[in-house]
Amino acid sequence: MSGVSTSVITDPALVAMFDCDPILVDVAPALSIVPGMTPNLILTSGPPLEWHEYTGGQRNAIIGGALYERLASSPAEAIAKLDAGEILVRGCHDYSCIGSLAGVTTASMPVLVLADQKTNRKAFCTLFEGAGTSRLNYGVYNEEVESNLQFLASVIGPALSELIHSLPEPIRVIPIMQRALHMGDELHSRNTAASLLFLREVMPALVSMEPVRAKELTSYFMTGEYFFLRISMAACKLLADQMSGTPGSGIVTAMAFSCKEFGIRVAGFGDRWFRGPLPKVETSGLFPGFTTDDIEVMGGESPITETCGLGALAQATAFPLQRYQGGSAADMVARNLEMYEIAVAEHPWFHIPFFDYRGTPAGISVQLVAQTKIAPLMDVGIAGKNGGQIGAGCFRAPLEPFLEAARLLEEAKL
Amino acid sequence: MSGVSTSVITDPALVAMFDCDPILVDVAPALSIVPGMTPNLILTSGPPLEWHEYTGGQRNAIIGGALYERLASSPAEAIAKLDAGEILVRGCHDYSCIGSLAGVTTASMPVLVLADQKTNRKAFCTLFEGAGTSRLNYGVYNEEVESNLQFLASVIGPALSELIHSLPEPIRVIPIMQRALHMGDELHSRNTAASLLFLREVMPALVSMEPVRAKELTSYFMTGEYFFLRISMAACKLLADQMSGTPGSGIVTAMAFSCKEFGIRVAGFGDRWFRGPLPKVETSGLFPGFTTDDIEVMGGESPITETCGLGALAQATAFPLQRYQGGSAADMVARNLEMYEIAVAEHPWFHIPFFDYRGTPAGISVQLVAQTKIAPLMDVGIAGKNGGQIGAGCFRAPLEPFLEAARLLEEAKL
């Protein structure tokens, strides 16, 4: 498939990352598979905050998660228990999870399980909630959302698990991602091709399943075009964590935000978060009837894909995205080229046909960000003030956390 | 889906073309559905020649077709019967068929049936023979080819027919084509996304089929990535024929070649062929071990897709094609832009995301070709002298037939 490597990777963090081959091994309830998961634990996106610091849609989603888990029978009771510490709130990243938007992950929710065969390390991500704008992770919890989450847990999760276990061999996700980049996806805001390529992989197993189950799964796969994003995110979490702890390395291993802050992790600093203000909207495509005044940031960890050379770092693979998230093809080319300024290498796996198969920018370096004052871009879904998705866009990270990490790395050398 | 129309279509031939909505209505043996088909008739690609004028791979494919139909028990007997006129050879285009490469279409072969619901007009194309390089339409007939053709006729054709008839509503192909153009296909040499999108459409019906049959079909769909090309070709044949007979129109309604000649049809001249020398290879990507000396032209009618604004006229939708057929992304952009010089309109259905959703060049005009001396380009598969596919490339049509048609149109006006 790929075969073209334009640069030899010598950076030790990247060498570690590329020594990983994520495979999809299961879909299982978080409680059964996520190390450290407990029934009263609610994971959410971004550098962790105290419970009372979560506001708006992200706070609503956390409360929704508590209600969904029957930890409380009313929002008031949920809030009281959260205040009392009977229900705990933690960051997804600390549990090998990765959150979409608000990122709420609770004990009974089915999670995709990505594993590295060599080390048996795992990463997890919840399932795509479907195409409706009302979703828990866009800050909404109501009967429709609840019933959909229950359907995912009772029907789709088990069916996916059965499907995965019936495959003759586990699905390697990198080849799917490579191909999808040649079919208009950048694997963050566009996963149209990857979702179909995944379907193609499981087709032989799908037609062998019990027909009712097969139809339910088929219908789920065909709802929206974002099924694969969660696989892409969990695979990237697995890849990025490979770099974590590389001594002295300034390679970014996570970019994530809560409702309040943006934060990054850096390979040389392990699990430490470097925090800064929320990202700025560079360009946006909002659904009809919405304006930028309606935008509410309620968290997001999907920029883990940018951390791995995808999303905004691969925009020139996904010109069709311009209609969804605003801007022109020329803008996308310019933005993509700009990202090479802050990356230490060209990706040996992920290529951009429009750039004559040049590898995507791989390995965002805090030192290069500090030097160029170019902050990373991120393709993201946009939530609205009343909950729900109202569009998509390209966000620019703040410089502060990169500058701080670069400064600390510089000081450590002295 | 589309929604963006950058130009109002006033050309009467194009107006007629865009008043057509091709749907896939069946897969059936040619004899049962193609008007005029007879058991002793062999259809082949290009402006028709006398039987004895066919040479090389195209001649071999015609002989292979006769053997496959049991019209003769040896090549020598087939040749004798062809010489004696007991086996007839005619052009696909005259039977509402459209041929891939040599284009051999015989009575028992299953054909895709595309229909326009308004007029009930139909167009037909044989099924993709699979990913092997040995195929009848690449000039090879042997046991492997024979057994594969029998499998298509006895298993795949009937299964596809059953699948199509079990769909809640017939498949409209234009929406699939529109989407595929936003996923890296130009729908001639690249049909990767369209084949998957087709799979997506039939999935609900597929999982309801008898499992053995469903598995056979699934395995066929997953062989190579060209299943959809034949649908694309038949749909374009249907669209192009809508324009045929428009009085005084210089819009091209067919571009096709045999082993000997290239030819075009022009809307104002109905079924008449304007003939010229074979196209020239503009760029090529050959499989390892082959050189341009190995190339043999053995016919092809797939440039019907270019006639409808696809293929080389939509290259900037398909940058990944550069590796398959040679050239760079910049070349593809330049070639695509050049094609606007000879088209009368911008396509209201088919858009190029890289050109900020500009419609593809629609309606090749013989007058504009005559005026600019720019001949149309065509993305094509390339056959080798010993049969089989040896690569793909971009061919340039000869100017002569366009100049002749333009001259006759000019004279008719005087």
* Three-state DSSP class for residue B263: strand
Q: What is the mean pLDDT of residues A100-108?
A: 97
Cα of first residue to Cα of last residue in chain A, in angstroms, is 44
- Helix (H) or strand (E) holding B221, with range, is helix B211-221
| Rounded CA separation A6/A125 (Å) | 32
| Rounded CA separation A378/A300 (Å) | 11
What is this model's ipTM? 0.91
**Four-residue CA torsion sign, B134, B135, B139, B144:** positive
CA distance, residue B354 to nearest chain A CA (Å): 5
Least confident residue range of A68-72, B71-75, B324-328: B324-328
What the block records as the tokens of A193 is 């091709």
CATH 3.90.1710.10 positions along chain A are 21-230
- Taking CA atoms, A58 is separated from A45, A50, A274, B148, B406, in Å, by 8, 13, 20, 58, 67
Give the start-end residues of each E strand in B8-92. 22-29, 41-44, 88-91
| Rounded CA separation A58/B45 (Å) | 62
Q: Give the model's confidence band at A132: pLDDT under 50 very low, under 70 low, under 90 confident, else very high.
A: confident
Q: Are B81 and B89 in contact (CB under 8 A)?
A: no
Q: Give the model's confidence band at B327: pLDDT under 50 very low, under 70 low, under 90 confident, else very high.
A: confident
* pLDDT at residue B402 greater than cutoff 50: yes
Q: Give the model's confidence band at B292: pLDDT under 50 very low, under 70 low, under 90 confident, else very high.
A: confident
CATH 3.90.1700.10 positions along chain B are 245-413
Nearest to B262 by CA among B383, B402, B392, B62: B402
Residue with tokens 């149209």: A192
Q: Give the model's confidence band at B221: pLDDT under 50 very low, under 70 low, under 90 confident, else very high.
A: confident
Q: What is the mean pLDDT of residues A4-13?
A: 72
CA distance, residue A255 to nearest chain B CA (Å): 28
Is B182 in CB contact (< 8 Å) with chain A?
A: yes
Is B209 in CB contact (< 8 Å) with chain A?
A: yes
Cβ neighbours of residue A91 closer than 8 Å, sequence gap 6 or more: A43, A44, A45, A46, A47, A48
What the block records as the tokens of A399 is 């410089």
The domain covering B20-230 belongs, at the CATH homologous superfamily level, to Enterococcus faecalis V583 domain (3.90.1710.10)
Q: Which residues of A touch B354 (CB under 8 A)?
A: 319, 329, 354
Q: Give the model's confidence band at A314: pLDDT under 50 very low, under 70 low, under 90 confident, else very high.
A: very high
Q: Class for domain A243-413, per CATH?
A: alpha beta
- Res B5: pLDDT: 44
Is A214 in CB contact (< 8 Å) with chain B?
A: yes
| Rounded CA separation A142/A308 (Å) | 35
Strand B280-286 vs strand B274-276: parallel, antiparallel, or unpaired? unpaired
Q: Give the model's confidence band at A327: pLDDT under 50 very low, under 70 low, under 90 confident, else very high.
A: confident
Cβ neighbours of residue B110 closer than 8 Å, sequence gap 6 or more: B27, B28, B29, B30, B126, B127, B152, B153, B156, B157, B158, B160, B161
Q: Which of B183, B208, B356 sits opposite A328 (nearest CB)?
A: B356
Pick the CATH number of B245-413 from 3.40.50.2300, 3.40.309.10, 3.90.1700.10, 3.40.50.620: 3.90.1700.10
- The distance of Cα A129 from the centroid of its chain, to the nearest Å, equals 14
Q: Which residues of A touch B319 (CB under 8 A)?
A: 353-354
Percentage of chain B with pLDDT > 70? Answer: 98
Q: What is the mean pLDDT of residues B167-192?
A: 96
| Rounded CA separation B223/B305 (Å) | 22
Q: Which long-range contacts (CB under 8 A, 24 or more apart) does B204-210 make?
A: B204/A215, B204/A218, B204/A219, B204/A222, B205/B163, B205/B166, B205/B167, B206/A207, B206/B163, B207/A206, B207/A207, B207/A209, B207/A211, B207/A214, B207/A215, B207/A218, B208/A211, B208/A215, B208/B166, B209/A207, B209/B159, B209/B162, B209/B163, B209/B166
* pLDDT at residue B167 greater than cutoff 50: yes
Q: Which of A199, A322, A357 sits opposite B323 (nearest CB)?
A: A357
Is A85 in CB contact (< 8 Å) with chain B?
A: no
- Res B222: pLDDT: 83
Output the 3-class SS for chain A. CCCCCCCCCCCHHHHHHCCCCEEEEEEEEHHHHCCCCCCCEEEECCCCCCHHHCCHHHHHHHHHHHHHCCCCCCHHHHHHHHHHCCCEEEEHHHHCECCCCCCCECCCCEEEEEEECCCCCEEEEECCCCCCCCCHHHCCCCHHHHHHHHHHHHHHHHHHHHHHHHCCCCEEHHHHHHHHCCCCCCCCCCCHHHHHHHHHHHHHHHCCCCHHHHHHHHHHHCCCCCHHHHHHHHHHHHHHHHHCCCCCCCEEEEEEECCCCEEEEEHHHCCCCEEECCCEEEEEEECCCCCHHHEECCCECCCHHHHCCCHHHHHHHCCCHHHHHCCCHHHHHHHHHHHHCCEEEEEEEEEEHHHCCEEEEEEEEHHHHHHHCCCCEEEEEEEECCCCEEEEEEEECCCHHHHHHHHHHHHHHC
Q: Give the model's confidence band at B342: pLDDT under 50 very low, under 70 low, under 90 confident, else very high.
A: very high
List pLDDT tens digits, range A360-378. Answer: 999 999 999 999 999 999 9
List pLDDT tens digits, range A237-281. Answer: 999 999 999 999 999 999 999 999 999 999 999 999 999 999 999
Q: Please, what is the Cα angle at B181 between B177 and B186, to 5 degrees? A: 95
Number of Cβ pairs < 8 A linking chain A and chain B: 91
Is B334 in CB contact (< 8 Å) with chain A?
A: no
* Three-state DSSP class for residue B85: coil
Q: Are A285 and A337 in contact (CB under 8 A)?
A: no
pTM (predicted TM-score): 0.94
List pLDDT tens digits, range B123-161. Answer: 999 999 987 778 999 999 999 999 999 999 999 999 999
Nearest to A128 by CA among A148, A107, A155: A148
- Res B7: pLDDT: 59
B106 vs B10 pLDDT, higher one: B106
Mean pLDDT of chain A: 94
AA letter at A339 = M
List pLDDT tens digits, range A271-313. Answer: 999 999 999 998 888 888 998 899 999 999 999 999 999 999 9
Count Cβ atoms below 10 Å from residue A371 Cβ, excluding itself: 12
* pLDDT at residue A147 greater than cutoff 60: yes
- Res B388: pLDDT: 83
* pLDDT at residue B351 greater than cutoff 50: yes
Q: Any bridge partners for residue B28, and if so which? A: B111
- Res A7: pLDDT: 59
Q: Give the model's confidence band at A1: pLDDT under 50 very low, under 70 low, under 90 confident, else very high.
A: very low
- Res A2: pLDDT: 36
Is B206 in CB contact (< 8 Å) with chain A?
A: yes
* Three-state DSSP class for residue B19: coil
Q: Are A225 and A236 in contact (CB under 8 A)?
A: no
CA distance, residue B183 to nearest chain A CA (Å): 4
Is B355 in CB contact (< 8 Å) with chain A?
A: yes
Burial B267-281 (b: 16+ CB within 10 A, else e): bbbeeebbbbebbeb
What is the DSSP-derived secondary structure letter of residue B299?
Answer: -
Indicate yes or no: CB of B329 within 8 angstroms of CB of A182: no
CA distance, residue B192 to nearest chain A CA (Å): 8
Least confident residue range of A4-18, A346-360, B361-375: A4-18
Q: Which of A196, A322, A354 sits opposite B200 (nearest CB)?
A: A196
Q: Are B186 and B379 in contact (CB under 8 A)?
A: yes
Q: Which residues of A touch B323 (CB under 8 A)?
A: 353, 357
Q: Class for domain A21-230, per CATH?
A: alpha beta
What is the DSSP-derived secondary structure letter of residue B343?
Answer: E
Compare all CA atoms of chain B with the CA of A180 and give the residue at the minimum distance: B183
- Taking CA atoms, B372 is separated from B309, B339, B375, B376, in Å, by 18, 11, 8, 11
Strand B88-91 vs strand B41-44: parallel, antiparallel, or unpaired? parallel
Q: What is the mean pLDDT of residues B318-341?
A: 93
Q: Give the model's confidence band at B202: pLDDT under 50 very low, under 70 low, under 90 confident, else very high.
A: very high
AA letter at A255 = M
Per this entry, what is the length of chain B?
Answer: 414
- Helix (H) or strand (E) holding B110, with range, is strand B110-116
Is A206 in CB contact (< 8 Å) with chain B?
A: yes
* Three-state DSSP class for residue B295: strand
Indicate yes or no: CB of B207 within 8 angstroms of CB of A211: yes
